[in-house]
Structure 1
Amino acid sequence: MMAIRSGGNPIGQPSDSQYWDKSHNIYCLLDAVYTDITIFLVIAKFLRESNIAKALTDKTIVYESHVRWFWSSARYEEKEKTIYSAVTKKDENGQDVDLEIKFNVGYLRRVLELGNSDSDPTIIPEHLCKGLWCRMGFTGHLNGKMGKTMFCHPYKFTIHCIVYALSHRKGACDETSNYIMNIITCLVLNRPSNVLWVTF
């Protein structure tokens, strides 16, 4: 979802000196300027028009120090299903001010423009996923590990984007997890899916 960088400076004065977890949640460059002269032309256009396009391409920079400050004061309100926290920021006069931050699943849906809901399915029947993968030209064993290298280039590119942008992995990014398989199945079949449930 985000390019995540580290920095120990206050929120008003972030440092760009070093990336934090740069191998995790990397945004995808799906712009036509990068893809129109490649074999990924059609699949990149498909991803740009999908309901997860914003989640794949969001270039928001988040600093490690901000994340640490946020979680140091975070509290979860079960009744509202909302996380509350506070962060310190410099105002226009250089004074420290505390800002309350709150977010929930609905907020994430709105920001990422996912267009899904809690009532959308979170798990797709396995036979549906595997049947689709066969139609996508999967060359491996259906009961074995699902690897992106076992597909043709356009589908490999699709899986690569989703694994790097939406998965929890920091390594072994050639393999796809069941929840990534569900996202890809719903995306290709144009079916609703509760993406937030499986990625957050």
Structure 2
Amino acid sequence: MASWFKGKRKHADSDTVQVRAQVIADAVRAGVQHAEQAPPPQHPPSGPLPMLPQQYAEPQPYVEPPAHPEPELENDFRVEPALVSIAPEVYDQAVEERRSLVELALYAHDRARSSGVAERIEAGLAEVGVVALRPDGVDFDPAVHEAGGTAETANAALDGTVAETEVVGFSDRGRVLRPPIVTVYRGRTEPVQEGS
């Protein structure tokens, strides 16, 4: 910023530059004080900037704003700062009600007779972080999948992969609520013929 003022001195006298620099510095300090005293505006101001009150003409020392550590919330949920100040019992009640609603939505999903209704329920659940699990074509992992049956295949590359999802599973922000029940490909074994 100092180089800008030096460059401007060639075209304006130095008194004018110093006055402009003082006005800019005062405006910056006034903005810092004003930000600490009043909440930020919801929308950016339009039109000409308002004149600064006379009280900001004097230089004010800069005061570092206080640091606000992030609260530790259960299940690593990230909550808007405005919601952190609610009472713990209200927060616990909201979390419990959310769990109940998710369970009800899963119950309705399992009994939906229309694929359109099931898709709409899945879309609504996805909006709140509950994702449907359909692991078709991936390697079977007994830690996250439940085997419901097997399907024989002559293709050795498919041995041990998920052929299809019988019952959709769900996870809530990475935590498995219900593992998917899947059919797993199994390589066809040829019977051994004796005496050939």
TM over 0.5: same fold?
no
Q: If the length of structure 2 is used for normalisation, what is the TM-score?
A: 0.22
Bigger relative contact order, structure 1 or 2, given CA contacts below 8 A and separation 6+? 1
Structure 1-normalised TM-score? 0.21
